[in-house]
């Protein structure tokens, strides 16, 4: 069987009913989901079209189907031509003679920085018959991805790997470059979260459960009020346990594809959940981001990050983090520029988290008090912050938030945002 590429531009329904936890059989449905109308764009690679493997294997022909069989742990490499830049469902048709095998997919194998780009997180294979395991939301850039690796920690049979577009990635058509030579801050963009619906002229959703580069546990859903809603003048982002067939669901909203920003004051007013496992954040990501390898060159400004295990469950007293990530300084190499400050009663009292971002520096604040300071020294790799950034608000479970485990007593976590505003100096 040869490589099959499908570019079907007939509109059909490609919805979240396709999206479930890894190890789920192909015919299992997920209820209470939204549907996205989108053309089908997918590419499927037959396993026997591999370009390299770590171990010997057999090519098996059975009932008109051919597949490759690996007797032990290892990896196989395939070349993949991604047809369109965007977020993809990454799916394997696979089986195992073992009780359970873990597999995952690696991109950018030949990167010169020695980084490992896990673009699916762990997928569990536990069936002797062929079934589909998959993760949603993996970011890919259009073009040929050489030597993409499928890793497995035990014996497996692999029929194919397939990539199906979930959502195209669009750069923001509008960039607001804030004036920084005035004397008084004036609002130039804001969402006060009034009414009953999220303003989709300002926000879109990131979708999926591929781990987001941090081994996070949640599935970010699309336009699902159980996870993101406007209520009583607030944005509520809610993480829910054992929901929608997932371990956790939550939401991540972004201005990407709508509006990006260069310079200015960005602030939001929020309450943060307690108990270990959660990771709440308000931050910016460079508009040039298209996949994992474009970070941290694209730049990232963390206005607020906070994890539940640093917050007292009774008092709500915790720690706010403000950081920047760039090619010169980022957490993977352990030298990212980060700052912390103690904050009282983070969960029951609103606090204002902000940054003032100018061509010369980025300063972080809580309730108007500065606690972080990052300067533009003129080093190119240390200052991608002269280019547009998109705003993101999200609530993750696991990842950094799960370093001390996830509390077994929580079934719901909420990040409550009163407003978010962008200012320039006039």
Task: For residue range 170-181, list pLDDT tens digits in order.
Answer: 999 999 999 999
Question: How many whole angstroms separate alpha carbon 37 and alpha carbon 10?
Answer: 11
* Statement to judge: residues 24 and 64 lie in one domain: yes
- DSSP per-residue codes, 141-172: -SEEEEEEEEEESS-EEEEEEEEEEEEE----
Residue 43 pLDDT > 80: yes
Going by pLDDT thresholds of 50, 70 and 90, the confidence category of residue 38 is low
- Contact indicator for 178, 220 with CB cutoff of 8 Å: no
Structural domains counted in the chain? 2
Whether residues 123 and 228 share a domain: the answer is no
The answer on 180 and 164 residing in a single domain is no
Catalytic residue among 300, 310, 349, 375: 300
**Same domain, yes or no: 250 and 183:** yes
Are residues 330 and 207 both part of a single domain? yes
The whole-number average pLDDT for the span 72-85 is: 97
Q: What is the pTM of this model?
A: 0.91
How far, CA to CA in Å, does 123 sit from each of 47, 163, 260, 300? 17, 15, 34, 28
What is the pLDDT at residue 405?
97
Distance, first Cα to last Cα, the chain: 65
Burial of 303 (0-12, 13-18, 19+ CB in 10 A): buried
Give the end of a domain, one of 135, 168, 201: 168
Q: pLDDT class for 40, splitting at 50, 70, 90? A: confident
Strand-pair partners of 260: 175
Residues of the domain holding 157: 4-168
Among 153, 168, 183, where does a domain finish?
168
Predicted confidence (pLDDT) per residue in 200-232, tens digit: 999 999 999 999 999 999 999 999 999 999 999
Burial 35-63 (b: 16+ CB within 10 A, else e): ebebeebbbbbbbbbbeebeeebeeeeee
Is 305 designated active site? Answer: yes
Structure confidence by residue, pLDDT tens digits, 387-401: 999 999 999 999 999
Which helix (DSSP H) or strand (DSSP E) does residue 86 occupy? strand 86-95
Q: How far apart are CA 157 and CA 127, in angstroms?
A: 11
Mean local confidence (pLDDT), 359-373: 98
Give the C-alpha separation, 242 to 268, whole Å. 30
Please indicate, yes or no, whether residues 164 and 187 belong to a single structural domain of this protein.
no
Q: Are residues 206 and 161 in the same domain?
A: no
Nearest Cα to Cα of residue 100 among 137, 61, 73, 139: 73
Same domain, 152 and 180: no
For residue 298, count CB atoms less than 10 angstroms from its CB and return exposed for 0-12, middle for 13-18, buried for 19 or more.
buried
CA 151/CA 405 separation, integer angstroms: 25
Q: Report the C-alpha dihedral over residues 145, 147, 151, 155, rounded to 10 degrees.
A: 130
Do 220 and 137 lie in one domain? The reply is no
Residue 18, phi then psi, degrees to nearest 5:
-80, -10
Q: Which of 326, 309, 268 is nearest to 398 (CA)?
A: 309
Spatial separation of the C-alpha atoms in residues 205 and 213, rounded to whole Å = 17
> Distance (Å, rounded) from C-alpha 350 to C-alpha 338?
23
Give residue 65's pLDDT: 87
pLDDT of residue 318: 98
| pLDDT tier at 331, thresholds 50, 70, 90 | confident
Token match 């696979």: residue? 94
What's the mean pLDDT in 398-413?
Answer: 97
Concerning whether 300 is annotated as a catalytic residue, the answer is: yes
The percent helix, strand, coil of the chain (3-state, each to 5) is: 5, 55, 40
Residue 205 sits in the same domain as residue 152: no
| SS3 category, 420 | strand
Q: Among 141, 168, 195, identify where a domain stops.
A: 168
- What CATH number should be reported for the domain holding residue 16? 2.60.120.260
Q: Which of 105, 219, 238, 240 is nearest to 162 (CA)?
A: 105
Q: What is the pLDDT of residues 256-307, one digit of tens each?
A: 999 999 999 999 999 999 999 999 999 999 999 999 999 999 999 999 999 9
Question: DSSP letter at 263?
Answer: S
Transcribe 312-363 into DSSP letters.
Answer: -TTT--EEEEEEEE-SSS-GGGT--EEEEEEESSTTTS-EEEEEEE-SSEEE
Q: What is the mean pLDDT of the chain?
A: 91
Q: What is the mean pLDDT of residues 155-179?
A: 96
* Cα–Cα separations (whole angstroms), residue 115 to 109, 111, 150: 8, 7, 16
> Domain containing 250 — which CATH number?
2.60.120.200
pLDDT at 403: 96
The pLDDT, as a whole number, for residue 78 is 97
146 and 201 inside one domain:
no
Least Cα distance to 272 among 228, 319, 233, 230 occurs for: 319
Q: Which of 42, 46, 267, 305 is catalytic?
A: 305
Percent of the chain at pLDDT > 90 equals: 88
- My answer on whether 345 and 196 are in the same domain is yes
Would you place residue 37 in the very low, low, confident or very high pLDDT band (cuts 50, 70, 90)?
Answer: low
């Amino acid at each position: 069987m040869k490589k099959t590429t499908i570019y079907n531009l007939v509109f059909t329904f490609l919805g979240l009913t396709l999206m479930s936890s890894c190890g789920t059989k192909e015919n299992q449905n997920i209820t209470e989901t939204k549907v996205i109308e989108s053309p089908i764009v997918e590419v499927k690679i037959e396993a026997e079209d591999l370009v390299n493997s770590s171990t010997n294997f057999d090519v098996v022909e059975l009932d008109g189907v051919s597949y490759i069989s690996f007797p032990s742990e290892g990896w196989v490499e395939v070349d993949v031509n991604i047809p369109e830049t965007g977020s993809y469902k990454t799916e394997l048709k696979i089986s195992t003679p073992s009780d359970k095998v873990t597999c995952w997919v690696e991109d950018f194998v030949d990167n010169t920085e020695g980084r490992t780009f896990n673009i699916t997180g762990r997928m569990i294979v536990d069936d002797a018959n062929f079934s589909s395991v998959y993760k949603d939301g993996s970011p890919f850039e259009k073009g040929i991805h050489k030597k993409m690796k499928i890793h497995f920690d035990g014996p497996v049979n692999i029929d194919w790997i397939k990539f199906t577009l979930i959502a195209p990635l669009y750069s923001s058509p509008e960039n607001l470059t804030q004036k920084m030579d005035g004397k008084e801050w004036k609002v130039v963009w804001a969402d006060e979260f009034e009414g009953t619906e999220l303003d989709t002229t300002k926000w879109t959703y990131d979708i999926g459960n591929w781990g987001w580069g941090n081994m996070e546990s949640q599935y970010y859903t699309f336009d699902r009020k159980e996870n993101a809603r406007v209520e009583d003048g607030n944005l509520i982002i809610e993480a829910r346990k054992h929901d929608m067939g997932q371990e956790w669901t939550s939401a991540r909203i972004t201005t990407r594809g709508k509006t990006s920003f260069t310079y200015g004051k960005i602030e939001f007013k929020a309450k943060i959940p307690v108990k270990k496992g959660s990771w709440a954040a308000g931050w910016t990501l460079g508009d040039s981001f298209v996949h994992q390898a474009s970070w941290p060159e694209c730049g990232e400004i963390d206005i607020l990050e906070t994890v539940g295990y640093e917050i007292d469950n009774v008092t709500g007293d915790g720690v706010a983090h403000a950081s920047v990530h760039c090619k010169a300084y980022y957490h993977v190499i352990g030298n990212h520029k980060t700052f912390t400050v103690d904050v009282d009663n983070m969960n029951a009292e609103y606090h204002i988290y902000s940054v003032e971002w100018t061509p010369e520096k980025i300063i972080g604040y809580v309730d108007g008090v500065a606690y972080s300071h990052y300067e533009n020294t003129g080093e190119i790799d240390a200052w991608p912050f002269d280019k547009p950034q998109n705003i993101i608000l999200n609530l993750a479970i696991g990842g950094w938030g799960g370093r001390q485990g996830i509390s077994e007593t929580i079934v719901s976590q909420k990040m409550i945002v009163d407003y978010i505003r962008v200012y320039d100096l006039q």
